[in-house]
Chain A
């Protein structure tokens, strides 16, 4: 069974539109929504940690410019994602209120908005901060918009595993902004987010499987079933928990980070175990708890790294 839809962007939005739609007359808030501000805030936060953990200090004005470019670049990738995915966004309750499916922004506007912001953010980052950071930002935008959104998302159940690399790159960009290179610690930060992404999204996908199936997105619970998804969540959690402690074990982070990351990793593993073992409504509650905790887990891990860097 193929879950891939082959429709072209031009014929995807024919049925889109909303009561408050003013095509071509969108509000500022609609353009801001195209940038996926919640995703952007996590990107900025992890990039900031990469930036302050870097061995060399960056002038505050250049550090601000780097973060601004990373934020705009991430937002541009979000706008390109919404342009391509307008058809499936219209089918899911979580996303049908987005500016394009709601008819407030024309698909062409979102495409132009995304392309202009992507080009500008990479150009300014390259000119003001460094070519390695700019190259990584360009690669991140390309990976998210083209490799994940256009290629993997509708074709394979491993979409968010491979596509998760795009979300894991911001701390490396922040690190590269200070040093002009890629360090071992920044690779560790990349790996933590990379292995965090599958259990985070699969916990949500377990709850939203019927919607993903209706939209034709081959998420793991849709293709391989809930049982296999629960097993995979547990496997990734078992890899993530020790990986989260690795910065302390390898001497990159302090004792406080080591203790907190071990406790958080243990709790993550416990919640993943509950998702694996429970069935029925209890399984749903466990998946919801894991999804909520996974956001807190990543935030706290990076917050401790940030505090340690500021305190040293």
Chain B
């Protein structure tokens, strides 16, 4: 990691690690969304969509 005039410049290894962290976070968020959807359907059933507005 170098401090240059244009700010901090990451090394190639640091870029690679940041990319892998980003991909892992995206996967975790996707799994959480699917999990919450499935749990909602299981706990409330199809009636979850049938409620007065």
Contacts and interface: CB of A to CB of B under 8 A. Distances in A.
Given A22-B1, A22-B13, A25-B14, A65 B21 contact: no
Contacts of A26: 17, 21
From DSSP, what is the main secondary structure of chain A's interface residues? helix
B17 A25 contact: yes
A142 B44 CA distance: 32
Nearest to A59: B42
B39 A65 contact: yes
A25 B39 contact: no
B24 A28 contact: yes
Contact of B43 (A22, A27, A28, A128): A128
A296 B41 CA distance: 39
A128 B39 CA distance: 7
B38 A28 contact: no
A25 B24 contact: no
Mostly, the B contact residues are helix
Contact of B20 (A28, A59, A62): A28
B42 A61 contact: yes
A283 interface: no
Contacts of B39: 61-62, 65, 128
A27 B19 CA distance: 9
B29 interface: no
A68 interface: yes
A241 to B, nearest CB: 41
Contacts of B35: 65, 68
Contact of B21 (A28, A62, A68, A128): A28
Interface of A: 22, 25-28, 31, 59, 61-62, 65, 68, 128
